[in-house]
């Protein structure tokens, strides 16, 4: 499956497949979150807050182009592990054309990271809420 995935997503999957146990994957997720640039506090509004997340999560997008625009996302969270999940979502979706965002099978990609069986139902729901929000923004532009 990774043959038809963008290189950065294939690399993300490869990085997680290299990690043998949940503790290593958990720490990698947290490290990914730490590498996210902080979101400007002025952008942390009700409009940018992701509904359906137990932790606070904000996603901000900007588009480049008119027809099938490229969407770039920024995000943040008040929880370390969730901030890492935001970072994963950004690797998967940010910097891609809206049509590509819609064609990506996020459930399959996330499944290959081996996170789903270890995330709490609330965190899984929050990650799903991020994916739904990103795909909705892309759909509105296609």
Q: Could you give the CA distance from residue 33 to residue 102 in angstroms, rounded to a whole number? A: 24
The 10s digit of each residue's pLDDT in 3-43 is 589 999 999 999 999 998 889 999 999 999 999 999 999 99
| Whole-angstrom distance, CA of residue 121 vs CA of residue 59 | 21
Give the three-state DSSP class for 30.
helix
CATH fold for the domain made of 2-141: Sufe protein. Chain: A (3.90.1010)
Which sequence spans correspond to the domains of the chain? Answer: 2-141
Nearest C-alpha neighbor of 49 from the set 137, 130, 135: 130
Total number of residues shown for the chain: 142
Active site residues: 53
pLDDT in tens, 44-98: 999 999 998 788 999 999 999 989 999 999 999 999 999 999 999 999 999 999 9
pLDDT of res. 4: 82
Distance CA 10, CA 77 (A): 25
Kindly report the number of other CB atoms within 10 A of residue 54's CB atom: 14
């Amino acid at each position: 499956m990774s043959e038809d995935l963008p290189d950065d997503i294939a690399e993300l999957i490869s990085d997680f497949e290299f990690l043998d146990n949940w503790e290593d994957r958990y720490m990698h997720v947290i490290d990914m979150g730490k590498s996210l640039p902080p979101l400007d506090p002025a952008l942390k509004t009700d409009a940018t807050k992701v509904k359906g997340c137990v932790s606070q999560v904000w996603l901000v997008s900007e588009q480049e182009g008119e027809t099938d625009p490229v969407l770039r996302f920024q995000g943040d969270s008040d929880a370390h592990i969730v901030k890492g999940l935001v970072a994963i979502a950004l690797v998967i979706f940010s910097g891609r054309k809206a049509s590509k965002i819609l064609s990506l099978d996020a459930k399959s990609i996330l499944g290959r990271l081996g996170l789903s069986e270890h995330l709490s139902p609330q965190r899984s729901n929050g990650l799903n809420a991020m994916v739904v929000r990103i795909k909705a923004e892309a759909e509105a532009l296609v």
